[in-house]
């Protein structure tokens, strides 16, 4: 582990020692303050966070140390939805030690199945589950692999390819361990609000080259409307592949993280956003 990373992890661990409850918890965002000065007194009012944003990463694709440091520097506790069957299989994926480091430095690990197949076989007959039982077995296999690595029960789930169906929602609810399920992109739905809230149909916005310019405005909108915005990142590269819509630059990712930390939005990992939505 390099020096800077050790410092970041130590700083977060120390923060948690003094301010987090129940052992493993993400760091809270820094408190903004408003200072009112009149002729005689100075009063400081704690900042009021409005709206929520979650930064999520799909597939367990490796992030550079720069990107992880940028997350930590902006007090963002992200949710990493990992495909367990791909962990450590290629250099482009995180290894288990990386995933455990992410968890130990305050990020959340989510379930994205063990093998990331298609729900609907007509979409890809050679790479699909074929039955509800096979789907459930793959989610459970991923869960067993997380536990075997010493991680706690993983509660947050993301649908492979974002595809959902009512039977699959029932299967996830029936596992007893999955408490939320995030979609990848929902036509016509951007935010999670009190009115449309469904823990197993979390709305999300996919970060693409073509949506990058809209993200700062969506963060402002989430604050103004006091709603929950979930962002889905796939790959972040030093030199993104121009042909890959989902591959964005480290600079662009860092600007989004800075936008989040410079506003009064509450940055939450998905399991914490869920608790807030449920009033827990």
Residue among 141 and 259 whose Cβ is closer to Zn ion: 141
Q: In this complex, which beta carbon is closest to Zn ion, that of residue 58 or of residue 138?
A: 58
Contact status: 138 vs Zn ion (CB under 5 A): no
Alpha helices in 149-249 (DSSP H): 166-175, 215-225
One character per residue 59-98, x = contact with Zn ion (rule: CB under 5 A): x---------------------------------------
111: part of which helix (H) or strand (E)? strand 108-111
Nearer to Zn ion among residue 82 and residue 277 (C-beta): 82
Q: How far is the CB of 257 from Zn ion (least distance, A)?
A: 21
What is the smallest separation between the CB atom of 116 and Zn ion, expressed in angstroms?
A: 6
157, 181 in Cβ contact below 8 A? Answer: yes
**Separation between Cα atoms, residue 80 and residue 60, nearest integer Å:** 7
DSSP strand pairing (79-82 vs 42-46): unpaired
Stretch that binds Zn ion, among 22-30, 55-63, 203-211, 240-248 (CB under 5 A): 55-63
Q: How far is the CB of 124 from Zn ion (least distance, A)?
A: 13
**Which residue number has the CB closest to Zn ion?**
58
Residues 53, 55, 58, 272: which binds Zn ion (CB under 5 A)?
58
Question: What is the Cα–Cα distance from 248 to 92, expressed in whole angstroms?
Answer: 15
Q: At what angle do helices 65-73 and 250-262 cross, to 10 degrees?
A: 10
CB of 87 to Zn ion, least distance (A): 14
Token pair recorded at residue 189:
């739905």
N- to C-terminal Cα distance for the chain? 36
CB of 52 to Zn ion, least distance (A): 23
139 neighbors 178 (Cβ within 8 angstroms)? yes
Q: How far is the CB of 211 from Zn ion (least distance, A)?
A: 17
Residue (34 or 241) nearer to Zn ion, CB: 241
> Rounded to the nearest whole angstrom, what is the least distance from the CB of residue 232 to Zn ion in the complex?
9
| HSE-up of residue 234 (Cα within 13 Å, Cβ side) | 18
If the CB atoms of residues 59 and 247 are measured against Zn ion, the closer one turns out to be 59
Nearer to Zn ion, 234 or 259 (CB): 234
Residues 125-151, buried b or exposed e (16+ Cβ, 10 A)?
Answer: eeebbeeeeebbebbbebbebbeeeeb
**152's tokens:** 């706690």
CB of residue 142 vs Zn ion: minimum separation in angstroms? 12
Using the minimum distance from each CB to Zn ion, give the nearer residue, 84 or 263.
Answer: 84
Q: For residues 58 and 145, which CB has a smaller minimum distance to Zn ion in the complex? A: 58
Ranges of H-type helices in the chain: 3-19, 65-73, 96-104, 132-148, 166-175, 215-225, 250-262, 270-277
Q: Which stretch binds Zn ion (CB under 5 A): 14-22, 58-66, 95-103, 167-175?
A: 58-66
- Residue numbers of the site for Zn ion (CB under 5 A)? 58-59
């Amino acid at each position: 582990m390099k020096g800077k990373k050790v410092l970041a992890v130590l700083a977060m661990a120390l923060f948690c020692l003094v301010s987090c409850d129940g052992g493993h918890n993400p760091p809270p965002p820094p408190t903004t303050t408003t200072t009112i000065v009149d002729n005689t007194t100075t009063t400081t009012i704690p900042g009021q966070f409005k709206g929520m944003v979650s930064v999520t990463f799909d597939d367990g694709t490796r992030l550079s140390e720069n990107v992880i440091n940028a997350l930590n520097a902006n007090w963002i506790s992200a949710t990493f939805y990992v495909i367990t069957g791909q962990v450590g299989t290629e250099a482009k994926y995180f290894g288990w030690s990386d995933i455990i480091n992410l968890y130990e430095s305050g990020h959340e690990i989510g379930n994205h199945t063990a093998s990331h197949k298609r729900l609907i076989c007509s979409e890809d007959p050679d790479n699909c589950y074929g039955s509800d039982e096979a789907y459930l077995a793959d989610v459970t296999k991923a869960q067993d692999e997380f536990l075997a690595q010493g991680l706690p029960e993983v509660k947050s789930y993301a649908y492979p390819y974002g595809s959902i169906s009512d039977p699959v929602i029932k299967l996830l609810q029936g596992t007893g361990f999955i408490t939320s399920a995030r979609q990848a992109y929902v036509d016509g739905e951007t935010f999670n609000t009190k009115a449309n809230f469904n823990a197993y149909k979390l709305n999300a916005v996919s970060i693409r080259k073509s949506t990058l310019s809209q993200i700062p405005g969506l963060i402002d909108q989430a604050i103004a409307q006091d709603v929950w915005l979930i962002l889905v990142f796939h790959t972040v590269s030093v030199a993104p592949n121009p042909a890959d819509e989902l591959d964005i630059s480290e600079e662009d990712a860092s600007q989004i993280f800075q936008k989040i930390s410079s506003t009064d939005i509450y940055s939450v990992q998905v399991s914490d956003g869920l608790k807030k939505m449920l009033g827990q």
